[in-house]
Amino acid sequence: MKMPGNMQNMMKQAQQMQQKMQEQVAAIRVEASAGGGMITVKMDGHKNVLGVKIDPEVAGDVEMLQDMVMAAFNEAAKKVDDEAQAKMGGMLSGLGLPPGML
């Protein structure tokens, strides 16, 4: 089925915008820490862990270490979500959609 020219242009723009958003999300890099910096996690926009740094001082207390690692991972994931939302919101705001549609 052939679409009207305007509709084809809109679909093409939507595809280009989606690709650009995916590229921007992939480029996100965040770092989060817990325990006053004793645990640091680096994560990309797809929530893949790029690195973990653990201060040797905390390595002796396994339970505390587990809690801090979990807190750092959760904070990093939240930062990825926040940054991705900000990037997408900026791109989508130019579409002229009614309030509440973003």
- CB-based contact 59:79 (threshold 8 Å): no
How many C-beta neighbours within 10 Å does residue 65 have?
17
pLDDT for the residue numbered 1? 57
Q: Is 3 left (phi over 0), alpha (psi -120 to 50) or beta?
A: beta
Q: pLDDT digits over 47-101, tens only?
A: 999 999 999 988 888 999 999 999 999 999 999 999 998 888 776 666 555 555 4
Helix (H, G, I), strand (E, B) or coil at 31: strand
What CATH class does 27-89 carry? alpha beta
Which comes out higher in pLDDT, residue 46 or 93?
Answer: 46
What pLDDT does residue 102 have?
47
Q: Which pLDDT belongs to residue 50?
A: 95
The more confidently predicted of residues 63 and 2 is 63
The more confident residue out of 75 and 5 is 75
pTM of the predicted structure, to 2 decimals = 0.71
Q: Nearest 5°: phi and psi at 10?
A: -65, -40
3 state DSSP class of 91: helix
> What is the spatial order of strands in the sheet that 39-44 belongs to?
29-34, 39-44, 49-54
Question: What residue spans define the domains of the chain?
Answer: 27-89
Residue 42 sits at φ, ψ, to 5 deg, of -110, 135
Longest Cα–Cα distance of the chain, Å, equals 67
pLDDT score for 89: 78
Rounded average pLDDT over 12-41: 91
